[in-house]
Amino acid sequence: MGWLRRRQQDTDPEEPREPAGPEASGESAPEPPEPSPEGPSAGDETPAPESPGEGERRPGFFRRLFRGREAPLTEAEPGAPAPEAPPEAEAPGPFEEPDLPPAAPAAGETEAAEPEVERAEAERRGLFRRFRERLGRTREALAGGLARLFARRQVVDAELLEELEELLITADLGVETTLALMAALQEKLKRRELSDPERLKAALAEAMLRMLRTPAPLPREARPWVVLVVGVNGVGKTTTIAKLAHMEQQAGREPLLIAADTFRAAAAEQLAEWGRRLGVEVIRQKPGADPAAVVFDGLTAALSRGVDSVYIDTAGRLHTKVNLMEELKKIHRTIMKKVPGAPHETYLVLDATTGQNALSQARLFQEAVGLTGLILTKLDGTAKGGVALAVVHETGLPLRYLGVGEGLGDLKPFDPEAFVAAILG
Ligand X SMILES: Nc1nc2c(ncn2[C@@H]2O[C@H](COP(=O)(O)OP(=O)(O)OP(=O)(O)O)[C@@H](O)[C@H]2O)c(=O)[nH]1
The 10 Å CB-count burial string (b at 16+, else e) for 177-213 is bbbbbbebbeebbeeeebeebeebbebbbebbeebbe
The minimum distance between CB 91 and Mg ion, in angstroms, equals 11
Question: 345 pairs with which residues across the strands?
Answer: 227
Closest CB to ligand X among residues 174, 403? 403
Phi and psi torsions of 346, nearest 5°? -125, 105
Tell me the CB-side half-sphere exposure of residue 115, using CA atoms within 13 A: 5
Q: Are 295 and 343 in contact (CB under 8 A)?
A: no
In the window 316-345, what residues touch ligand X (CB under 6 A)? 316
Question: 281 pairs with which residues across the strands?
Answer: 256
Strands 309-313, 255-259: parallel, antiparallel or unpaired by DSSP? parallel
Closest CB to ligand X among residues 16, 94? 94
Question: Nearest-5° angle of CA 133, CA 139, CA 144?
Answer: 125
Q: Does 105 bind ligand X (CB under 6 A)?
A: no
In the window 265-294, what residues touch ligand X (CB under 6 A)? 267
Out of 86, 144, 396, 398, the residue judged to bind ligand X by CB under 6 A: 86
Choose from Mg ion, ligand X, none: what does 35 bind? Cβ within 5-8 Å by kind: none
Per-residue binding string, Mg ion, 220-249, x by CB under 5 A, is -----------------xx-----------
Report d(CA 257, CA 274) in Å as an integer. Answer: 10
- In sequence order, the 6+-apart residues with CB closer than 8 A to the CB of 350 are 231, 235, 358, 361, 362, 374, 375, 376, 377, 387, 391
Closest CB to ligand X among residues 47, 405? 405
Closest CB to ligand X among residues 316, 416? 316
Number of residues that bind Mg ion (CB under 5 A): 2
Q: Does 354 bind ligand X (CB under 6 A)?
A: no
Closest CB to ligand X among residues 88, 415? 88
Per-residue binding string, ligand X, 372-391, x by CB under 6 A, is -----xx-xx----------
Binding site for ligand X (CB under 6 A): 86, 88-89, 93, 231, 233-239, 261, 267, 316, 377-378, 380-381, 403-406, 410
